[in-house]
Amino acid sequence: MLSESQRHTIDQHVQQWIHQMSQEIPELIQQIQTDTKSSRFDLVTNVDRTIESRFEQFLKTHYPDHHLYGEEAHHETHHLREGHTWLIDPIDGTANLVKQQDDFCMIIGYFFDGEPQLSYIYDYPRQKLYRAVKGSGAFLNDIRMQPVTPQSLKDKIISFNNRVLNDETMHALLDASFGYRLIGACGLDSARVMTGQFGAHIHTNAKPWDIAAQFLFAQELGLKMTDFEQQPIDFVHGGPFIISNPGCYETILDILLSNGGYQK
């Protein structure tokens, strides 16, 4: 068991690290170097790599027995379910960083024995730190976030990655909701759901680091977060993912599972 005071100490420490990292980010962006990974749309930069390696150093120095699972260089999945485990997406929305210098964030999730303990989504361009602490709630720059009020899909804006949804499903979702917006960074699209601005964010193939922080925010803010069969998502594997206002959730899943749904 992790005590409340242990959790609090680690939280303070990580916040300090994020603050320190934020001082280095402008210089990293100034010297940005971009490479492609699996396709011309799949980008990585020195900013992504440096942040992840700085976080590795932070853990090695202060918490040497903690495990790290990160997008860029830490893919070992053994032992993630036992003891202390950290997941990091150093830059979520790298394409936005490269093409717009806006709308990207850092995602960090801390788990103990497979249970989420601390979560961070750091919106660097807007200087907004979303933070969740197990049992204590969620905060935006230290101001407590309120649990969302259930609202129907017809009144809410939703977001999803339109490349993979079948046309009919996409149009049915557009018709049933108030409207559609996509930021293009899973952490920031999810944050809009956490603040009640969006009704839901859907990602048909989320990687563990894309959604590492969202588990605890969903728990603390009364949101639904499951796969499309209403089953819990395994934090080590990721997969189809919806984070939703409880008032929109079932209507969205009904639509998503009809009309041929999406391409895997």
Residues that bind ligand IPD (CB under 6 A): 89, 92-95, 161, 184-186, 210
86 to 125: interface string for Ca ion, x by CB under 5 A: ---x-xx---------------------------------
> For residue 251, what are its two tokens?
């209507």
Cα–Cα nearest to 159, from 215, 201, 129: 201
20 burial (CB, 10 Å; 0-12 / 13-18 / 19+) is exposed
Phi and psi of 3, rounded to 5°? -80, 165
Determine the Cα–Cα distance for residues 120 and 14; give it in Å rounded to an integer. 9
> For residue 52, what are its two tokens?
């992840």
Minimum separation from the CB atom of position 263 to ligand IPD (A): 14
* Nearer to Ca ion among residue 42 and residue 113 (C-beta): 42
196 to 235: interface string for Ca ion, x by CB under 5 A: --------------x-------------------------
Instruction: Pick one of 11, 71, 123, 220: the residue that binds Ca ion (CB under 5 A).
Output: 71
* Nearer to Ca ion among residue 98 and residue 176 (C-beta): 98
Annotated binding residue at 4? no
> For residue 106, what are its two tokens?
């850092």
The single residue listed with the structure tokens 């230290």 is: 142
* Nearer to ligand IPD among residue 156 and residue 201 (C-beta): 201
How many Cα atoms are found within 13 Å in the side-chain-facing hemisphere of 246? 9
Provide the binding-site residues for Ca ion, judged by CB under 5 A: 71, 89, 91-92, 210
Binding-site sequence positions: 71, 89, 91-92, 210
